Structure 1
Amino acid sequence: MTQASVMPDLRYRAFISYSHQDKYWASWLHKALETYAIPKRLIGQTTAAGVIPKRLAPIFRDRDELASATDLGRKVNEALAQSANLIVICSPRSAASRWVNEEVLAFKRLGRSEHIFCLIVDGEPNATESPCRDAEECFANALRYQLGADGALSRERTEPIAADARTGKDGKTNAKLKLIAGMLDVGFDTLKQRELQRRNRRMVTITALALVVMLMTTALAVVAFRAQRLAEHERNQAEGLINFMLGDLNTKLQAVNHLDIIDDVADKAMRYFSSLDESEVTKDSLAQRAKALQLIGSVREEQGKLPEARRAFEDSQRLMQPLVARYPHNPQWQIALADSYSWLGMVAWDHGDLPQSLLQFRMAAPLVESVVREHPEKLDWLKHLGWLHNNIGHVLEERGQLSEAQKEYGIVLQIYRKLVEVVPDDRRYRTELGHAYDNLAGISYSLGDLAAAQGDASQELAIWQPLAQQDANDNSVQLYLARANAMLAKVMQARGQGSASVAALENSLTIGNRLLAADPTSTDVISDVASYSRGLAHGLRMNGDAARAEQLLRNALTIYTQLVAKVPDEPAWQANLAESHLELSRLTWKKGDVSSASASAEMARSLIGAVMQKHSDYSRAPPLLAESDITLGQLQMASGNLPGATAHWETALKILEQANGPASDPRLAFLKPRAVALCLLGKTSEATPVIAKLDKLGYRDAQYLQSIDATPCHSLHASRDIAVSAEATTPH
């Protein structure tokens, strides 16, 4: 029986084994795992660890849950047998613990050695191998040696799978994510990227929220000193809240991902507000109550409890609306109301309700704009405005409203230009400016504004290059630099600048391989290297270097095949695998192997067809499916099967029309296959306006030119002469 079939029958997602001297760590890990919200796109996918659930609960925390058991050993073994994974909190205390060693042994005897994960919190792994350092060892013996055939520990060493929570190592958050990635059998970067995205989306709002909550201490301190007007229990509650905020909140809230702290703040605040007499309820206390509700909502949203989060934000909104209407010049309250709208937008976005998300973000934006106009010196509020317009742009882009999204990204660009101008040495602002150019380059490319796309990509590159030189060890900037080169290469290829495109992709691949050598487990880097390899293979094929093109393409196919096997329902990886097979089809066709080329094209069509069935709104799928049918038709024609070729080309047109209606879609991804399919079918009158539009956009892609020149449409465009001059054009 496979692990995937065993997993659902087990009672516990994991068993935490630890020394009671490390009880703090066990408590933290137990809560962190059970409250972790698994990314929605992963839920329901099948990996080697089974079907990915919505939650990791329940987690078994060994002896604490068996305090009343009369037969402790038997109960522990039963719990181990009912646990899919064993997590060992590793320290010199646990290494010396008989309980921990026995629990690891028992779990190994169940045949689940591959599902043992370690969390290093203190000491040193394998310290016993160094003279006089036995006391520092953090791995129990049962972790360091393999199990023999007789069920006892052998002398053969093994290397435990470990996340390191120590300062200067992974840290608590990354260690937690590494453990979860191992338990679910997904890439660490799949979870890390989600964590970064959500943190970036939440950072501005939660930071502002934390600052306002800290200001509550001042107001509540006044309440604490009004002893003559407050009952004793009210004063005690106020003082308790003040002490809590000045203590735990002041020292811990900087780590905004600590849901337990934020939850405690909100709970304490709401209990205080509930205790107030009606005569003590003031406009300030109402505003503070609204902030506490936002804290509650932010925790619920992070926990994936979207209905509860929405209710808390709606309650906060109802409190703030009349206050802002009555006091329209109070900037903190305007920001607080905007935060309520923004949070409701985030909840709607997480729920897939893009229209409602857009509505809420657009209600928030004028409030923040008003505050920024009145207080231009407040850079954090200006950054908040940039965050809002960025979210509006992303929602519009997801809805296919590309021109409107482009306008929003333009606003974001202007905001971060101003911030960089005011604080030129702030690395965060320059990073956000780089992302703003990246957003604009991508959307300009999609809309066919290739000159603007190349300009934006060049500007983005000019931001990442000095940042990378300033700190060569900042791998995130190196990652962005590689991607910026790839974006520029994509645009230059579309404009007919083939040699320059290949050079830019060579840069991307060099950086990607260097990052991969530094962290061979990074899914993001692995996927990027495959993308650069595929893109470079296309360019080299068009330049006549078929041998190296095939080598790079085989590497890309291997990587994407492994990624898809790991996460079968990730549409982007399936699409990338399909695109790689399509490129292989063209390469093998060029070598004269029509049969292998047809098999690769069929594979591409099958893969992208499966994506369309599961993800009907995935915008890359229709044009890629059409490209597959176009290539299959060309291969049928090469084999002398005109009816078969015609059927494939007609299918390609139908796919594009069904996806976007009869009118030509403005995106290049749809225009190119539409033009080629019409030309191959001899429908020159219908093809003429599409080709004219592509010519006007400056589209000079070499693959497109070859396809058009082999059809009756060869005389309809002037692209080839223009492409020759474009090849010599240097990017600005």
Structure 2
Amino acid sequence: MTEHQRLLPRDRPRSRARTPKQRYAAFISYAHEDEACAAWLHEALECFRVPPQLVGRLTKMGAIPQRLTPVFRDRHELAASDDLGEEIEDAIAGSRFLIVLCSPAAAASVWTNKEIDSFKRRHGEERVLALINDGEPGASAMHGREGEECFPPALRVRYDKRGRPTTQPAEPIAADLRAQGDGRRLALLKIIAGMLGVGLDDLAQRDAHRRHRRMFALTAASLAGMLVTSGLAVTAIRARDAAREERRQAEGLVGFMLGDLRRKLEPLGRLDVLDSVGTRALAFYARQDKRSLSDDSLAQRSRALTLLGELAQTRGDMAGALTRYAEAKATTAELLRRRPDDPQRLFDHAQNVYWTGYLDEQRGDLDQAIAAMRDYRRLAAQMVQRAPGKPEYQLEVVYADTNLGTMLMRGRHYREAADTYQNALNQSEQLAAAQPGSQDAQEQVSGALGWLAEAREFGGEFDEARLLRERETRLAQQLWARSKGDMSFRRDELAARAAHARILAALGDSPAALKEYETVNQLGAQLLKTDPSNSEWQQAIVTAATGEGTAALVAGDLARAADATRRACSGTDGLVARDRSVAAWRTTFRAECLRLRGALAERKGDHAAAADSARAAILAWRSASSGAPRAMGIAQAEARLGQALTGQGRLAEAGSALARAMASWPRGVEERPDELATKALLLRASGQEPAARQLAARLAAMGYRRADFLARWQQGSRQ
């Protein structure tokens, strides 16, 4: 479980550049004098069947598909204008490859050149393939033969990594359709090999084998009447062998999906490929009698279901995720019953216990989630007992500790959570020291730093929390630099910096907090550009926008507060629209949006709008599951309602709201510093000055100096 422990503590449940969806396998760019050849190429590409042995293999061009479809070929002359037109631009943006059909006509075509330029600017040079139909490459540099040039100008120029043409010449490698060149069949295979990212020899040999099989099938058909009996026997043997081969391929696909394919595609945000491969493999298992599957096959199937559950959860499909996890959990429970001392069985079952507990928490059932995390911790401890020398099982114990700590945080047991996180950090640092090259160990140290920092902050230990966040930020930057593009570390840095900014604001340094949020926003923009559909990243961005809005209000920057409020609220709307089953999106995130709107209205003197926002927040919290977070949310919203009604001069109603706030305030739970600040003001407004001063003294001892609290406290002292 390399990412499970990273999801809960900072509400950043996780992955591609913001480019239009790639709808086409290729875009054929050609001059209309070459239309007959373009039509042949179009049909040849779309009819080509990729050899089954290559399907699913990961190459530098991505996972190899079954078919190279669809292919875009414009069948219309372009209008006499300077632009390619929206349809062509969209098709270029949505194509994985550009195939340039080269000829003197193409070299002279303004539109072919514009298409090449547009593609290179968007996608770079690596995916541009040249196919010679007529003319001479490089003839433009030959005196007297310039008219024979077949490469368009944009094809002959190198573009830099930012998609800009340079002064350096390009040297395109082209397949040659002509008889004196490669010939049509070999040239076609060269283009296809380039699209698949495989060697020409490999593809050509498999293509030859397929042709030979076709010839054998034609020859054998003439003997069918003479060989009926023998043929039936051979068919039965082949069917048996085919079934065995299908199972071997399915199990191989699952193994590939869980191993190399996941490691290479997940950092790039290509979860769609993982989902496609997994669905294909599980289609085989769905046709099988489960009783006929071996233990190993069942375990493989369960791991695939778990991964598909993760992918569904990442897309925000909680119902689909729960279905996958439940099926996987039932399978691993049975496998564990058969072999209770097998640490791998314990590991597999623990993953599904974790994920069902995670979804329990997401759906608002904290007690059930805590029980699941305790069970997960028990399974992890058993793994270490069965195989004490395996670092990955020791790391699993750390994961379990941190997730249990997270649930304790949700239950507002901050001191107990801090102790749990401190143990996790200590263990993580020991593992990292013993395995200096272990990415998992380094990531776990980063996560443990963040979780411990949050527990310390909520417990009022601001200075230690600030140092922990600064250390976490540095480590996230180091991991990003080593990862060569894994955006999850950018997400980690965003979360660390946003929390650091929140601490700075609590310590009274609003300018430093707002400066930190500028970096946070830059990181958020990178994440959205990479994968705008990732709900985990969206959560982190919304949380950061909420913090920025609060800090801007404290600093008196109402314009910036309004912008941050808009981003926080629109992001919340998007998350809720995606999946209403996630309790935190419907309640906590919605209520925080309403709090910001109300506070902004209050600062502008619109007390009626502030009161409306407070009432709406109360309703949002009432829709949450019962417990301390719900009670605290209602109490604070009632306190804001009382403040807004006081501003309207409706003092009797304000007094009732403040009384409800005190009555709703949860008893016997730990309170965060910002909540203690609200309570101190409430107590003073209720005439309980000694108790209010006692809380204010506690806050001062913590170093809590948030400007808005100090202003209201001093104002009350003067009255």
Instruction: Look up the match of 1:623.
Output: 588
Distance 1:587 1:560 in 2: 17
Deviation at 1:489, TM superposition (A): 1.1
Distance 1:144 1:475 in 2: 42
With over 3 angstroms needed to count, the CA separation of the structure-2 counterparts of 1:626 and 1:500, relative to structure 1, is same
Deviation at 1:535, TM superposition (A): 0.7
Deviation at 1:460, TM superposition (A): 2.2
With over 3 angstroms needed to count, the CA separation of the structure-2 counterparts of 1:364 and 1:405, relative to structure 1, is farther
Distance 1:452 1:159 in 2: 65
SS at structure 2 position matched to 1:457 = helix
Distance 1:441 1:6 in 2: 39
With over 3 angstroms needed to count, the CA separation of the structure-2 counterparts of 1:653 and 1:35, relative to structure 1, is farther
With over 3 angstroms needed to count, the CA separation of the structure-2 counterparts of 1:489 and 1:671, relative to structure 1, is farther
Deviation at 1:507, TM superposition (A): 0.9
Instruction: Look up the match of 1:526.
Output: 490
2:417 equivalent to 1:446: no
With over 3 angstroms needed to count, the CA separation of the structure-2 counterparts of 1:431 and 1:61, relative to structure 1, is farther
Deviation at 1:466, TM superposition (A): 2.3
Deviation at 1:491, TM superposition (A): 1.5
Any stretches of 5+ residues in structure 1 without a counterpart? Answer: 18-25, 40-53, 63-78, 90-100, 121-140, 161-178, 181-229, 261-298, 324-331
With over 3 angstroms needed to count, the CA separation of the structure-2 counterparts of 1:421 and 1:714, relative to structure 1, is farther
TM-score normalised by structure 2 residue count: 0.59
Instruction: Look up the match of 2:544.
Output: 580
Distance 2:51 2:573 in 1: 46
Deviation at 1:85, TM superposition (A): 6.8
Query: Which amino acid in the other structure matches residue 367 of structure 1?
Result: E
Asked if structure 2 preserves the Cα contact closer than 8 Å seen for 1:80 and 1:106, the reply is no
SS at structure 2 position matched to 1:112 = helix
Asked if structure 1 preserves the Cα contact closer than 8 Å seen for 2:305 and 2:325, the reply is no
2:353 equivalent to 1:381: no
Query: Which amino acid in the other structure matches residue 650 of structure 1?
Result: R
Which structure has more relative contact order (CA 8 Å, sep 6+)? It is 2
Instruction: Look up the match of 1:654.
Output: 619
Instruction: Look up the match of 1:674.
Output: 634
2:499 equivalent to 1:496: no
Rg (Cα) greater in structure: 2
2:457 equivalent to 1:485: no
Distance 1:539 1:338 in 2: 45
Matches within 5 A, 1:684-723: 684-688=658-662, 690-693=664-667, 696-699=668-671, 701-711=672-682, 712=685, 715=688
Query: Which amino acid in the other structure matches residue 425 of structure 1?
Result: G
Deviation at 1:485, TM superposition (A): 0.8
Which deviates further from its counterpart, 339-348 or 530-539? 339-348
Instruction: Look up the match of 2:389.
Output: 425
Instruction: Look up the match of 2:368.
Output: 404
Distance 1:686 1:714 in 2: 15
SS at structure 1 position matched to 2:24 = coil
Query: Which amino acid in the other structure matches residue 543 of structure 1?
Result: L
Any stretches of 5+ residues in structure 2 without a counterpart? Answer: 1-16, 30-49, 74-87, 99-106, 128-152, 173-194, 197-231, 262-271, 643-654, 705-719
Deviation at 1:527, TM superposition (A): 1.9
Deviation at 1:568, TM superposition (A): 4.0
Instruction: Look up the match of 2:355.
Output: 391
Asked if structure 2 preserves the Cα contact closer than 8 Å seen for 1:86 and 1:107, the reply is no
- The match for 1:109 among 91, 116, 130 is 116
Deviation at 1:502, TM superposition (A): 0.9
Query: Which amino acid in the other structure matches residue 615 of structure 2?
Result: E
Asked if structure 1 preserves the Cα contact closer than 8 Å seen for 2:92 and 2:115, the reply is no
2:276 equivalent to 1:303: yes
Asked if structure 2 preserves the Cα contact closer than 8 Å seen for 1:87 and 1:118, the reply is no
Matches within 5 A, 1:68-217: 84=93, 109=116, 111-116=118-123, 145-146=157-158, 155-156=167-168
1:449-506 Cα offsets, whole Å, 9 max, x none, are 3233223322221232123333444444333322221111112111222112111111
Query: Which amino acid in the other structure matches residue 643 of structure 1?
Result: A
With over 3 angstroms needed to count, the CA separation of the structure-2 counterparts of 1:424 and 1:588, relative to structure 1, is same
Asked if structure 2 preserves the Cα contact closer than 8 Å seen for 1:16 and 1:59, the reply is no
SS at structure 2 position matched to 1:462 = helix
With over 3 angstroms needed to count, the CA separation of the structure-2 counterparts of 1:337 and 1:85, relative to structure 1, is closer
Distance 1:309 1:249 in 2: 5
Asked if structure 2 preserves the Cα contact closer than 8 Å seen for 1:450 and 1:697, the reply is no
Distance 1:16 1:469 in 2: 54
Which deviates further from its counterpart, 600-609 or 233-242? 233-242
1:397-417 Cα offsets, whole Å, 9 max, x none, are 343333222222222222222
Instruction: Look up the match of 2:327.
Output: 360
With over 3 angstroms needed to count, the CA separation of the structure-2 counterparts of 1:431 and 1:516, relative to structure 1, is same
Instruction: Look up the match of 2:209.
Output: none
Distance 2:475 2:274 in 1: 37
Cα RMSD after superposing both structures: 5.7
Matches within 5 A, 1:340-351: 350=312
Distance 1:410 1:521 in 2: 35
Asked if structure 2 preserves the Cα contact closer than 8 Å seen for 1:629 and 1:652, the reply is yes
2:545 equivalent to 1:545: no
Distance 1:569 1:359 in 2: 25
Percent identical residues: 14
Query: Which amino acid in the other structure matches residue 109 of structure 1?
Result: I
With over 3 angstroms needed to count, the CA separation of the structure-2 counterparts of 1:16 and 1:478, relative to structure 1, is farther
Distance 2:255 2:452 in 1: 37
Instruction: Look up the match of 1:13.
Output: 25
Instruction: Look up the match of 2:3.
Output: none
Asked if structure 1 preserves the Cα contact closer than 8 Å seen for 2:328 and 2:352, the reply is yes
Instruction: Look up the match of 1:293.
Output: none
1:151-191 Cα offsets, whole Å, 9 max, x none, are xx97437899xxxxxxxxxxxxxxxxxx99xxxxxxxxxxx
SS at structure 1 position matched to 2:456 = helix
Deviation at 1:555, TM superposition (A): 0.9
Asked if structure 1 preserves the Cα contact closer than 8 Å seen for 2:333 and 2:349, the reply is no
Distance 1:638 1:383 in 2: 53
2:471 equivalent to 1:459: no
